[in-house]
């Protein structure tokens, strides 16, 4: 069984002292029969008290506030986990029975949030493209795998062309993005053909070079396969999710699974840096984190006057998943 040590370091540096910094953390792994958390330590600058709750989707969420003036906020998460390989679907039932099962659960509250694709100006264009890709005579699992491969082949993996707020139709036009965008497009397509699909935030732990999304928080999709359950699909890497992925949160989309977000009062000028370092097997003896950040975003002071309470859920308190 693979073991991983994951160090996730987030740093906010402000151009002038800020106050009343309230934050929400969704960086706590979803432990189940395939993921064993051996240890997890989260430290935050100034050691604020952190309160916890479980959200609607079953995610563990931490919240804290730093009231006093500060020019830097550091959130350090060190996690050690052991993963177990999945049991792949046997997929023995007929295609007709499986599609009927999906039709029967459309109004089940456990699946409704993961079924209805959002309305989009390009809704019909995307559906038209799907007509040449999916085959209703095939089983849902085969169609889900085909769609994941289609997204992988259609989008170019390119950083900096999208943001956390880029809608699906813009991703479709650009034909490019990062893991977050690959996941959102696959979500739309699976839901459009009646397969429940949910967004997953976490880490990909590569065993070899060339894995997209390594060294940052990652995103993928879980599709509901009839008579099996939820199966993870990583369209960014065109693979079925197995023991090399670690889940932190699930939801309808990125907004439900944002690793870190919050508000503060003060200057809008700031710099966000994020480092994620993953070790396979026995961790090296080290007392420091990654040598260089894998994600950096600088936000200048807005030119136009705005309310003194500023909400930065796009860049200041929220990094894009790569």
User: What domains sit in the chain, N to C, each tagged with a CATH number?
Assistant: 3-83+257-311 (2.60.40.2250), 95-255 (3.10.620.30)
State residue 292's pLDDT score.
Answer: 52
Residue 92 CA to residue 227 CA, distance in Å, equals 9
CB 81 within 8 A of CB 3: yes
CB 62 within 8 A of CB 25: yes
CB 44 within 8 A of CB 74: yes
Residue 303 CA to residue 33 CA, distance in Å, equals 51
Residue 22 CA to residue 16 CA, distance in Å, equals 17
E-only strand ranges, 266-322: 270-280, 295-299, 309-311
State residue 300's pLDDT score.
Answer: 61
Contacts 24+ apart (CB under 8 A), 289-292: 289/7, 289/9, 289/76, 290/7, 290/9, 290/215
Q: Strand order of the sheet with strand 229-234?
A: 239-240, 229-234, 218-225, 197-204, 245-251
**pLDDT per position as a tens digit, 24-72:** 999 999 999 999 999 999 999 999 999 999 999 999 999 999 999 999 9
State residue 160's pLDDT score.
Answer: 86
State residue 254's pLDDT score.
Answer: 94
- Helices marked H in the chain: 95-104, 123-131, 140-154, 168-174, 179-192, 254-257
State residue 214's pLDDT score.
Answer: 79
Residue 147 CA to residue 322 CA, distance in Å, equals 20
- Nearest 5 degrees, angle CA 22-CA 28-CA 33? 160
Query: Count of residues for the chain?
Result: 322
CB 247 within 8 A of CB 35: yes
Residue 117 CA to residue 52 CA, distance in Å, equals 31
State residue 319's pLDDT score.
Answer: 62
CB atoms within 10 A of CB 318: 22
State residue 291's pLDDT score.
Answer: 45
Could you report how far apart the first and last alpha carbons of the chain are, in Å?
26
State residue 311's pLDDT score.
Answer: 45
Closest of 187, 205, 47 to residue 118, by C-alpha: 187
The percentage of the chain sitting over the pLDDT mark of 90, rounded to a whole number, equals 71
- Paired with 273 in beta bridges are 11, 296
State residue 58's pLDDT score.
Answer: 96
pLDDT-flagged residues of the chain (< 50): 282-291, 303-306, 308-316
State residue 281's pLDDT score.
Answer: 65
């Amino acid at each position: 069984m693979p073991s991983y040590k994951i160090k996730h370091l987030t740093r906010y540096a402000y151009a002038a002292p800020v106050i009343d910094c309230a934050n929400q953390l969704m960086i706590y792994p979803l432990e189940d029969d395939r993921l064993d958390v051996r240890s997890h330590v989260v430290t935050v600058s100034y050691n604020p008290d952190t309160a916890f709750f479980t959200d609607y989707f079953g995610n563990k969420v931490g919240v804290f506030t730093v009231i006093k003036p500060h020019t830097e906020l550091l959130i350090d998460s060190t996690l050690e986990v052991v993963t177990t390989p999945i049991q792949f679907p046997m997929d023995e039932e007929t295609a007709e029975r499986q599609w009927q099962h999906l039709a029967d659960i459309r109004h089940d509250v456990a699946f409704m949030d993961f079924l209805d694709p959002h309305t989009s100006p390009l809704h019909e264009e995307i559906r038209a493209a799907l007509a040449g890709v999916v085959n209703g005579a095939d089983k849902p699992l085969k169609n889900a795998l085909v769609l994941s491969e289609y997204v992988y082949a259609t989008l170019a993996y390119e950083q900096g062309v999208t943001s956390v707020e880029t809608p699906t139709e813009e991703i479709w036009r650009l034909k490019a993005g990062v893991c977050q965008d690959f996941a959102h497009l696959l979500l739309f397509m699976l839901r459009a053909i009646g397969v429940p699909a949910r967004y997953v935030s976490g880490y990909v732990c590569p065993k070899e070079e060339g894995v997209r999304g390594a060294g940052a928080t990652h995103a993928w999709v879980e599709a509901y396969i009839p008579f099996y359950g939820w199966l993870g699909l990583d369209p960014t890497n065109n693979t079925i999710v197995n023991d090399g992925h670690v889940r932190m949160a699930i939801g309808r989309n990125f907004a439900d699974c944002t690793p870190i977000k919050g508000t503060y009062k003060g200057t809008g000028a700031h710099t966000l840096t994020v480092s994620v370092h993953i070790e396979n097997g026995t961790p090296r003896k080290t007392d420091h984190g990654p040598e260089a950040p894998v994600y950096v975003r600088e936000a200048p002071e807005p030119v136009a006057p705005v309310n003194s309470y500023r909400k930065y859920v796009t860049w200041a308190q929220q990094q894009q998943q790569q």
